[in-house]
Chains A and B, each alone.
Chain A
Amino acid sequence: MGMRYRQYLHGARIYGCSQCKTHLATIHSMISRAFNGQHGRAYLFEVVVNVIEGEPADRQMTTGNHTVRDIYCVKCGTTLGWKYDRAYEPSQKYKEGKFILERNLLVDVQ
């Protein structure tokens, strides 16, 4: 896969991995705060960087069935949330290709 540097974001507010401060997403990229994860409140983002995506799996969520992948921090490997590959409910299609990060696993970084 070759050597890569982590990406760095800039903006008014940057969310990083609470374990290792790796940049993950900016507030500009946030779509919604109204999500819930395993650790409580979670945010939906348009773009998340520096994550490794796991294998796809179908999960039954409160809004219906989805194909999702867990996402891990590229540096420390912490599970941070998931990515939506596919939403079966037409009303939930907007989530496809978007990312969930759990608020309790994020910190503000610069």
Chain B
Amino acid sequence: MRLTDADGFQEPSSYDSGPEAGPSSFGLDGVVGRPMGITNGHGASTNGYSNGTSGPGCGPHQPSHTRKASSSSIARVNLPGTTLYDDTFVDREEFVRLVIQSLRDVGYIESAATLEAESGYTMETSEVSKFRQYVLDGAWEQAETMLVRLGVSDEEGLWEVRFLISQQKYLELLEEENTTAALHVLRNEIAPLDVDPDQLHSLSSLMMCTDVADLRQRAGWDGVSGSSRRRLLSHLQQYIPSSLMIPPRRLSTLLGHSLQYQRANCLYHNAPLSLTSPNPKSSFTLYADHQCDKDKCFPRVTTTILEGHVDEVWAIEWSHCGRRLASAGSDRCAVIWRIGPETDSSIRTYSAEHVLRDHTFPVGYLAWSLDDSVLLTASEHTIKMWNTKTGMHIRALDAHNDTVTSLAWLPDGSGFISGGLDRKIILWDADGKQRDTWGTTSIRVTDLAITPDFTRVVAVGMHYLASLPSSGGNGRGESVTPPTGGGGAHPHNATNGSTGSENRMIIYDLATKQTEASIRLDGELTSVKISYDSQFALINQAPDEIHLWDLSTGRIARKFTGQRQGRHVIRSCFGGIDGNFIVSGSEDGNVYVWHRDTGTLLEVLTGHGAGSVNSVTWNPMNERMFASCSDDNTIRIWEAPEVQEPILTSEQDLEETAGKGKGKSRERWDGEGGSNPRPAPL
């Protein structure tokens, strides 16, 4: 509000309107801004500052003339124009009022007053301050009257605010155990508003509450002494023009938007950046635009190559603790690798802790139990359970009669689900007892995943078309019946393949096993992963595409292209601190990384030998490490090239000489001259 000239700041009579502005912060947590009713030195005023922090010079007993004396010496600065700078869109009045609000919020009361005096802008009018105080004091009638004066005029808005106020009144009376008065409010104020009968019923049922605690619990309301009036205020404020009553912590909100924007534009973002809580590691500063240094944050160099498999490595999975890595493939072995705790990759030790043999066929899938004590392997139609501590075989599960293609533990660790090309989906207990089954589904499952929120199973596979008796037109032009499912992989089948080949993503409700959605997709589907927030499914779709599906809408949210996938089972995953990277293997032997929200291809990482990179897995405990596995029989560990903690530098130098003796060396990075990374022996 710009004061008119008549409100000249030197005039003590009109001066009151400025400093009377009340608290601009009323955090819902109730920590900030308790209604302390501190007068600001103006004897008659009861609605002074209530920031909860009485800054120096504004205590209740401060002589009133102190403030007046200091403020009246401030000369009003008259500036041309209305914007903050000549060439910006930012309105100066808006900006200054937000600054005043922030100053008051943190307790710089004098500075705020000075700024008001110097700029001639006030944070808000005395009416707004009064309204706030009426609500906080429970002066409902005055509050309602004031709302009209503050511009709440449309029918709907008035109805809403009346209801909100009456509801609060009603609850407060119940809290006082003044049932008669509460009933009066219910009958004479709330009921005439024609509220939804259910809502009215639930309100009236609160009459039956046994005590105050019961009332608060059932109403989801924390009483007069809690934050309920502040909550009400924030609800009511939505009906008042924001130019009159600035939304709480407005400047901070705007800076938060700026942070979000910067983070969204940081393609290599992989550093902690908290919006809501103080984080000592947060790299966000107001002084400069945020940008992650891709050399420091992003794992793009191979620091170790794990050798030991004697044939193609097809599957790879980190344990939940991030210290162990399981790998498996066509050599019919699964290997549990232990990764040393050293943060410096040059001295870190790797060992093949257990080699899980006894598979009759190649191993295509791995799944760690929630506590990492059990590893599941899938080899053709058999699931095997292994003790990861001893490496001993626990038992084999033989309920599938065709290849088991996927294994997923329940989010609570109480069991797991298996899916197979026999169209079965089976739910097992953690000890391997069959608990439930989906029966025979409509697809030969090629992969499945459970959403972390425990609500859905997303399965992909080849749609099963029941064999039709040769009727009518079936024979027409079909001297050759194309293979279904994987048919897309064969160019010479493509002519007829379109009719027979059908692939689907099916979203099941986990609790009821009902199909929520069944979506036909073109091309072979080989991998499905779910985002951390359970909203998206990441699906590899031959040829050459990866799609991000929004599970709630059943639509494609993003496509990622660049990698090669035609004939093979290629898997992808989410990665990075916010799950904002998409990583995938590829038949061209490279690892591909995209920025999830923009779809930008960030990196094509070379290093693996001939053949496909079959799978990738991001370390769940280290956002700067992932692993990939390949037809070249090896596993590569990818990390950011620089050690993060500068403290380590001196140790690092010391270890460097010692490290060489142990056969661990820093030249494990590829792409730097001819130095070959040394394989860790099996």
Contact = CB atoms under 8 A, between A and B. Distances in A.
Interface string A20-34: 000100111100000
Contacts of B465: 10
Contacts of A46: 479-480
Interface in B558-579: 567-570
Contacts of B508: none
Given A1-B611, A3-B330, A8 B568 contact: no
A73 to B, nearest CB: 13
B612 A10 contact: no
Contact of B568 (A4, A12, A110): A4
Given A8-B485, A47-B483, A2 B587 contact: yes
A29 B481 contact: yes
A13 B329 CA distance: 33
Interface in B466-514: 466-470, 474-475, 478-487, 489, 493, 500
A5 interface: yes
Given A10-B500, A47-B493, A110-B467, A5 B486 contact: yes
Contacts of A4: 486, 489, 567-569
A19 to B, nearest CB: 13
B500 A3 contact: no
Nearest to A14: B467
A49 interface: yes
B569 A2 contact: yes
A12 to B, nearest CB: 5
Contacts of A26: 481
A8 B631 contact: no
A28 B481 contact: yes
B467 A11 contact: yes
Given A11-B467, A12-B468, A2 B480 contact: no
A9 B483 contact: yes
B421 A47 contact: no
Contacts of B469: 12
A6 B485 CA distance: 9
A75 B612 CA distance: 21
B462 interface: yes
Most central of B403, B484, B611 by chain A CB within 10 Å: B484
Contact of A10 (B421, B484, B568): B484
Interface string A65-108: 00000000001000000000000000000000000000000000
A10 B467 contact: yes
A11 B468 CA distance: 6
A3 B314 contact: yes
Contacts of B303: none
Interface string B601-617: 00000000001101000
A43 B418 CA distance: 37
A1 B446 contact: no
Nearest to B484: A10
B614 A3 contact: yes
Nearest to B401: A21
A24 to B, nearest CB: 10
Contacts of B486: 4-8
A2 B568 contact: yes
B40 interface: no
Nearest to A22: B402
Interface in B446-473: 446, 462, 464-470
Contacts of A11: 467-468, 481
A5 B631 contact: no
Contacts, number: 96
A7 B487 contact: yes
B364 interface: yes
A7 B461 CA distance: 12
Given A8-B486, A10-B467, A12-B469, A1 B481 contact: no
A12 B569 contact: no
Interface in B355-381: 361-362, 364, 380
Contacts of B483: 7-9, 23, 47, 49
Contacts of A110: 467
B444 interface: yes
B405 interface: yes
A53 to B, nearest CB: 14
Nearest to B478: A28
B612 A2 contact: yes
A8 B444 contact: yes
Most central of B480, B483, B484, B611 by chain A CB within 10 Å: B483
B312 interface: yes
B213 to A, nearest CB: 59
B41 to A, nearest CB: 78
Interface string B400-419: 00010100000000000000
Interface in B333-370: 361-362, 364
Contacts of A47: 480-483, 493
Nearest to A110: B467
A9 B481 contact: yes
A42 to B, nearest CB: 19
Contacts of A5: 403, 405, 421, 446, 485-486, 569
Most central of B482, B493, B567 by chain A CB within 10 Å: B482
A49 B466 CA distance: 19
Interface in B618-670: 631
Contacts of A49: 483
A31 to B, nearest CB: 9
A2 B526 CA distance: 13
A89 to B, nearest CB: 24
A63 to B, nearest CB: 22
Given A12-B469, A110-B467, A2 B485 contact: no
Contacts of B484: 7-10
Contacts of B314: 2-3
A14 B474 CA distance: 16
Most central of A4, A8, A29, A49 by chain B CB within 10 Å: A8
Interface string B173-198: 00000000000000000000000000
8 contacts: A3-B362, A5-B421, A6-B486, A10-B481, A10-B484, A23-B483, A28-B475, A49-B483
Interface of B: 312, 314, 329-330, 361-362, 364, 380, 403, 405, 421, 444, 446, 462, 464-470, 474-475, 478-487, 489, 493, 500, 567-570, 587, 611-612, 614, 631
* 10 A-B pairs with least C-beta separation: A2-B568, A28-B481, A2-B612, A3-B569, A7-B486, A3-B314, A26-B481, A7-B483, A11-B481, A8-B485
Given A2-B312, A9-B483, A9-B484, 14 more contacts: A1-B568, A1-B631, A2-B314, A2-B611, A4-B486, A4-B567, A5-B446, A7-B489, A10-B481, A10-B484, A12-B469, A23-B483, A46-B479, A47-B481
